[in-house]
Amino acid sequence: MSGIRVSLCGKSFPDASGNGTRQVLGELGFAAERGEFVAILGPSGCGKTTLLNLIAGLDAAYEGEIALDAAAGNAAPDIGYVFQNPRLLPWRTVFENVCLVLNAPAGATALVEKLLAEAGLTEFRDAYPEKLSLGQRRRAAIVRAFAIAPDLLLMDEPFVSLDGPTAERLRAMLLKIWNARPTTVLFVTHDLDEAIALADRVLVLSESPASIVADVPIAVPRQERMAPAVLEEFRKRLRQPEKL
Amino acid sequence: MFHLHALWPRLASFFLFLLLWQLGAMALESRLLPLPEAVFAVLRDGFQSGEIPHHIGITLGRVAASFVLAMAIGSAIGIAMGRSRLLDRLFDAWLVLFLNVPALVVILLAYVWFGLIEAAAVLAVAVNKIPNVAVTLREGSRALDRDYLEMAHSFRLGSLRTFRHVVLPQLSPYFLASARSGLALIWKIVLVVELLGRSDGVGFQLHLYFQLFDVASILAYTLAFVAVVLVIEAVCFRPLDRRALRWRR
């Protein structure tokens, strides 16, 4: 398990014309404790995915510092990434997709079977991803990320464009798996209620170039959060900064 | 693989072809277009004496050697150029040059420079095919999906696993396409190579019968060799196709 400290001065991309640059992320800093579940809430297109890609090491061209303090003895922390589009290899079965990312596949297949069972995917173990529904593929992507016992788990709107009840079930599944195998989570979403339901703490991002406009701990046990009064209270506190 | 309802139109078209040939030959009554039965008699004699299998075997050996050489070198060049913009800019013009050098020129130069030897023949054929393979595979590796490469990178698969599980499966349609067109191109060029500088193989035999004006033998060799290529297509490429596509919906 690994904590993380992010202090960015900014991140720009070349703009469409090719001459100028477009700033996506502004000055942005936060830290997450080991084992903390942090939701990053922001409007569409504000640079949330860019932020996760920087943390995942997919893009090294940024100003600032991103530091992970891995558990002792682990040189490079393992990062699990659940992408918005599940990104399972279509030419490998569900089981092969999960086993592919393991560092030592020999001993870990029992863990994979167990995770698949917890995600309700046992009967789809040998199916190719194109034969699964979006919800099932999302579950498989979550299993894949947990299978490496990640020091840090990045999740990029993993439940977007699912119907309400399915998203609800997947959130419950995620919490169950995470409770059994705690790790630090950065969970990007634009859904207020989803952030409130899942996170220990919610960071609110501004429009692009994004910076953090609010840092709200959700200090209520998860099973009590869906009470209307509690929900309304947090909604208000999270919406407030967007009006500034 | 051979279902009856899919088979009968093929059989029908085969017999229609034979019928047209028969009628045409009967109408012309010329030594230059022999009857099918004359050609089949040559085929039978050739197989009984072992002459046709011998020369086809030699030609197939050359085809196989040049094919493997061209696919391996062409793929390596194509993938490298598809992945690196610098290499692409450096060698794009070379590729266009080699694509447009006539096969005959490559063959003549190979024989002039290296002598009338087996290696020169195989090399000449491979050099003719390498640019085609490279262009196809370059297209393929440019079309690699960044999403999967990012997934491989963030889960730290390493270059070997990434290549085997992420890159190769995406390239396999391009491999198959260039292997198919490659086989068709290579066996034709091999015949020219044999005609110009070898003393055995189907190309050499065709040249011999051309000088004797023996059209029946020329047709017999052609039919036998085309049949071999069709078998290769059915036995190697179709199952590979199915295997490569089994995950699709």
**Could you write out the three-class secondary structure of A12-55?**
EEECCCCCCEEEEECCEEEEECCCCEEEEECCCCCCHHHHHHHH
State phi, psi for B137 to the nearest 5 degrees. -70, -30
Which among A87, A92, A131 is the nearest to B249, CB-wise? Answer: A131
* pLDDT at position A220: 86
Residue B230 CB burial class (10 angstroms; 0-12, 13-18, ≥19): exposed
Domain containing B136 equals: 55-141+172-245
Provide the pLDDT for residue B76: 94
Range in B10-19, B70-79, B136-145 with the lowest mean pLDDT: B10-19
How many beta carbons lie within 10 A of that of residue A77, not counting itself?
A: 17
Q: Say what the pLDDT of residue B241 is.
A: 80
B10 domain residue, yes or no:
no
Measured between beta carbons, which residues in chain B are less than 8 angstroms from residue A100? 157, 161, 165
Q: What is the CATH number of the domain that holds B91?
A: 1.10.3720.10
What's the pLDDT score for residue A206? 86
Pair of tokens at residue B170: 């995406």
Q: Is residue A143 part of a domain?
A: yes
Partner-chain contact B169 A91, CB within 8 Å: yes
DSSP H or E segment with residue A178: helix A164-180
Pick among A91, A103, A124, A132 to test the B interface (most B CBs inside 10 A): A91
> HSE (CB half, 13 Å, CA atoms) of B116?
7
Residue pair A98/A109 in contact (Cβ under 8 Å)? The answer is no
User: Is A128 a domain residue?
Assistant: yes
Contacts of A83 in chain B (CB under 8 A): 147, 150-151
Which positions in chain B touch A148 (Cβ < 8 Å)?
A: 155
Q: Domain count for chain B, please give it.
A: 1
Mean pLDDT along residues A109-132: 90
What average pLDDT does the segment A221-227 reach?
Answer: 85
- Please indicate whether, in this complex, the C-beta atoms of B165 and A90 are within 8 angstroms of each other: no
Nearest to A135 by CA among A114, A162, A115: A162
Which two structure tokens, joined as six digits, stand for B158?
């390493």
What pLDDT score does B237 carry?
Answer: 83
pLDDT score at A10: 82
Encode pLDDT of B169-178 as tens digits. Answer: 999 989 999 9
Map tokens 């085309």 to a residue: B226
Which of A66, A93, A101 should be substituted to probe chain B, the one whose Cβ sees the most B Cβ atoms within 10 Å? Answer: A101
Residue A38 lies in a domain: no
**Do the chains contact at B147 and A57, CB–CB below 8 Å?**
no
A-B contacts (CB, under 8 Å): 48
pLDDT of residue A126: 92
Structural domains of chain A, count: 1
pLDDT at A212: 87
List the single best residue of B146, B148, B151, B170 to mutate versus A (max A Cβ within 10 A).
B151
- For residue B49, CA distances in Å to A148, B61, B198, B208 come to 65, 20, 21, 17
pLDDT in tens, B34-52: 999 999 999 999 999 999 9
B66 within a domain of the structure (yes/no)? yes
Its domain, for residue A131, covers 88-149
Per the domain annotation, does B75 fall within a domain?
Answer: yes
pLDDT of residue B40: 92
Distance (Å) from the C-alpha of residue B157 to the closest C-alpha of chain A? 6
Region A72-99 average pLDDT? 87
pLDDT band at A243 (very low <50, low <70, confident <90, very high): very low
Tell me how close the Cα of B188 comes to any Cα of chain A, in angstroms.
35
Look at residue B249 and tell me whether its pLDDT is greater than 90. Answer: no
* Cis peptide bond upstream of A209, omega within 30: yes
Yes or no, beta carbons of A92 and B161 under 8 Å apart = no
Asked whether the beta carbons of residue B150 and residue A53 sit closer than 8 angstroms, the reply is yes
- Residue B158: its chain A contacts at CB < 8 A? none
Q: What is the mean pLDDT of chain A?
A: 87
Instruction: Kindly state the average pLDDT of the residues B202-226.
Output: 92
Is A137 a member of any domain?
Answer: yes
Q: Tell me the two tokens of residue A37.
A: 């579940």
Q: How far apart are CA B63 and CA A205, in angstroms?
A: 63
- Is residue B19 in a domain? no
Interface contact A130-B151, CB threshold 8 A: no
Query: Do B203 and B125 touch, CB atoms closer than 8 A?
Result: no
Residue B228 within a domain = yes
Closest CA relative to residue B130, chosen from B160, B101, B87, B155: B101
For range A83-111, the mean pLDDT = 87
Tokens read off for A141: 């992507």
- Residue from the list B148, B154, B161 with its beta carbon closest to the beta carbon of A81: B154
> Å from B155 to nearest chain A CA?
6
Name which of A53, A78, A89 is nearest B148 (Cβ-Cβ).
A89
Amino acid at A203: L
- Residue A244: what pLDDT? 44
Q: Is the pLDDT at A105 greater than 70, yes or no? A: no
Q: Which of A91, A92, A101 sits opposite B155 (nearest CB)?
A: A101
Q: Residue A130: closest CA among chain B residues belongs to which residue?
A: B249
Taking CB atoms and an 8 Å limit, are A56 and B154 in contact across chains? Answer: yes
Q: What's the gap in Å between the CA of B234 and the closest CA on chain A? A: 23
Contact partners, residue A68, CB within 8 Å, separation at least 6: A2, A3, A4, A77, A151, A152
Distance of alpha carbon A3 from alpha carbon B59, whole angstroms:
66
